[in-house]
Amino acid sequence: MTPPKVLSLGFLILITAGTFLLSLPVSSTSGQISFIDALFMATSATCVTGLAVIDTGTQLTTFGQVVLLILFQIGGLGFVTMATLITLVLNKRISLKERILLQESMNQNSMQGIVLLIRRVLIYSLVIQLSGAVLFAGRFMMDMPFGKAAYYGIFHSISIFNNAGFDLFGDIHGPFSGLTRFVNDPIVNFTSMSLIFLGGIGFIVLSDLMDFPKRRRLTLHSKVVLWTSLILIVIGAGLFFLLEFNSSLKPLSASGKFWATFLQAVTPRSGGVTTIEVPLLRQSTQFLMILLMFIGAAPGSTGGGIKITTFAVLVTAVAARLRGKEDIVMFRHRIAKENVYRALTITLMSLMLLVIATMLLSLTESAEFLTVLFEAVSAFGTSGLSMGLTPELTTAGKVLVIILMFMGRTGPLTLAYALKPKGSKELYRYPEGKITIG
């Protein structure tokens, strides 16, 4: 059982358990959820996607909602991290095998300091989610009783920090309404953006930032993640504002335009919550969101996509080749060719997967091509944004999206490593050949 196999199997076990619990009569207000719908919701929660075939606020009971909450909390932090928490609480020793699993699940290059990192992950997550819950609950108390506001605050803080994107406001504002009623609300928008950003930059970067006052420097990984995130947010917000100024942003106040612009620039990279209905956006804006969803969040985070660092390495490699440079340099550090090959492999595998999935969904669903593509990329990037197709999916379409969500969360490369047969070392090399490129 290699680490990729253990990680993939762990997610499958979580999904299976979630499907069983959601299939129970106590989980739904109607007393029954079909097997495929329960499987879809369990996969979406475990893979912290947020796509939903049934409305969480109206069609699930409190028990069903708590099941989802547990699934996306474990799925966001990683089941290996949660298992380590139990081991630490029981004061047991972390074995070498468990350290290797932690290294793989957190995308670390070495096992050095991995247990300390896990402790920090758990502490940071608890503090950030608790802070978000307090801010949300304080705002929601203006509209609902204290007990309900506290429950809503906890649920939405955990959901948004883990980039799950599930919400309960269908019970108040109508099914699948999301956060559209809070488009002008500074508290809800600021808290949501902060939770998405902190959950999306990754626990490695969070730990590095906490050490910054003492060490006075950041690692190369943290610099790449933070700068690339900032650039994507600024460019995304600028393009969204220009494209939607005379459309969806037109009826909003100046402050409403500001909050809507930046939340819609932050949330595609795996956030899953939106204050503007995606189907009402221009096609150019929808395609912009597809690109941001495909890039996704940072490695070792609660988000999906090909990852920010993969995108940054590819862009830097292209820029170096155009300038005729042999080395790929980022922040005065040379990037190993192995990382470039890995980035290329992940990107090409992801594109091939999305091409095949979009073609198949176009056959099974009666929807426009851009809508099908949007839903496919949202599922793979574990973003959770939807153009309204997900609740209308056929059974075949649901199965395809379930596979996309699972592969998007585990990563196509990890899944490929888990499924490949045990290889043997090559004892010879073929002669080098020449081929014309470009």
- Please report, for the chain, the start and end positions of each structural domain, with discontinuous segments joined by +: 3-415
User: Would you state the pLDDT for residue 131?
Assistant: 95
pLDDT band at 420 (very low <50, low <70, confident <90, very high): low
* pTM higher than the cut 0.75: yes
User: Would you state the pLDDT for residue 173?
Assistant: 77
Asked whether residue 174 carries a pLDDT value surpassing 90, the answer given is no
CB of 56 within 8 A of CB of 68? yes
User: Would you state the pLDDT for residue 107?
Assistant: 54
- DSSP characters over 123-178: HHHHHHHHHHHHHHHHHHTTTS-HHHHHHHHHHHHHHHHTT-----THHHH-TT-T
Asked whether residue 319 carries a pLDDT value surpassing 80, the answer given is yes
User: Would you state the pLDDT for residue 395?
Assistant: 93
Give the separation between CA 193 and CA 267, rounded to whole angstroms.
7
3-state secondary structure of 28: strand
User: Would you state the pLDDT for residue 413?
Assistant: 61
User: Would you state the pLDDT for residue 361?
Assistant: 94
User: Would you state the pLDDT for residue 203?
Assistant: 78
Most confident of 31-45, 95-109, 406-420: 31-45
Asked whether residue 189 carries a pLDDT value surpassing 90, the answer given is yes
Q: Which residues contact 35 (CB under 8 A, 6 or more apart)?
A: 19, 23
User: Would you state the pLDDT for residue 112?
Assistant: 58
Higher pLDDT, 248 or 85: 248
Asked whether residue 417 carries a pLDDT value surpassing 60, the answer given is no
Higher pLDDT, 41 or 408: 41
Name the average pLDDT for the chain.
85
* pLDDT tens column, 234-263: 999 999 999 999 988 988 999 999 999 999
pLDDT band at 26 (very low <50, low <70, confident <90, very high): very high
Q: What is the mean pLDDT of residues 40-62?
A: 91
Higher pLDDT, 210 or 365: 365
Q: DSSP class of residue 27?
A: G
User: Would you state the pLDDT for residue 162?
Assistant: 87
Q: How many CB atoms lie within 10 A of CB 368?
A: 13
Cα dist from 178 to 50, 61, 162, 225, 257, whole Å: 11, 18, 17, 29, 18
User: Would you state the pLDDT for residue 163?
Assistant: 86
Asked whether residue 83 carries a pLDDT value surpassing 70, the answer given is no
* Paired strand residues for 333: 330
Q: What is the mean pLDDT of residues 277-301?
A: 90
Cα dist from 190 to 100, 147, 272, whole Å: 37, 23, 15
pLDDT band at 115 (very low <50, low <70, confident <90, very high): low
User: Would you state the pLDDT for residue 410?
Assistant: 78
- In percent, the amount of the chain with pLDDT more than 90 equals 46
Two tokens, residue 104: 């793989």
Give the separation between CA 112 and CA 292, rounded to whole angstroms.
33
Number of H helices, E strands in the chain: 19, 2
Most confident of 14-23, 80-89, 168-177, 317-326: 14-23
CA 288 to chain centre: 17
Give the separation between CA 215 and CA 384, rounded to whole angstroms.
37
